[in-house]
Each structure stands twice: as C-alpha cells, then as structure tokens.
C-alpha cells in the first residue's frame, strides 16, 4: 500500500474503494468521498461503470437462474 501512495498518491488507495462502493449496497458514502477528494471525472466514471456493470451482470445471472428453477417440471401421463 505504501508503494501505491508513493507512486500514485492517495487517490490510488481509493480507486478500489470506489469500485467496491458501486458493488456494495452502502456505497454512496464512498462515492461522496470521491467527490470531496475531487477524483478525476474520467477515472471516477470508469470505476463506477465497471462496478455497476458487474453488479447488474450478477443480478441478471441470478434472475435467469432463479427463473429456471421456477419453471414447472414436465408432467408425463
């Protein structure tokens, strides 16, 4: 971690947190911190896009799997 701080600055420490913030239900606080720390808009947008895409990909996958579980079994006479 100290290497990241020395090389990229403190904003590098928050990059993973911003990505996780979009994945977690209580991520709004971290997004607020990103705004207060004035994270560059392009980096912020990329991290949020990646996190939200991952979140909704998981939700879509789980929805499809759940729908498959609810299909009625074929009844043969």
| 47, 19 Cβ separation under 8 angstroms | yes
Task: Give domain limits for the chain.
Answer: 1-70
Q: What is the pLDDT of residue 38?
A: 80
| 4, 12 Cβ separation under 8 angstroms | yes
Q: For 4-56, what is each residue's pLDDT tens digit? A: 555 556 566 566 666 666 566 656 666 777 777 787 888 888 887 887 888 88
pTM for this structure?
Answer: 0.51
| 18, 48 Cβ separation under 8 angstroms | yes
**Higher-confidence position of 71 and 57:** 57
Q: What is the pLDDT of residue 39?
A: 76
Q: What is the pLDDT of residue 25?
A: 62
Q: What is the pLDDT of residue 63?
A: 87
């Amino acid at each position: 971690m100290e290497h990241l701080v020395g090389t990229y600055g403190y904003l590098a420490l928050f990059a993973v947190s911003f990505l996780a913030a979009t994945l977690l239900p209580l991520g709004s606080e971290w997004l607020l911190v990103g705004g207060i720390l004035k994270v560059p808009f392009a980096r912020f947008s990329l991290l949020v896009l990646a996190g939200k895409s991952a979140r909704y990909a998981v939700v879509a996958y789980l929805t499809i799997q759940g729908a498959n579980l609810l299909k009625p079994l074929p009844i043969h006479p």
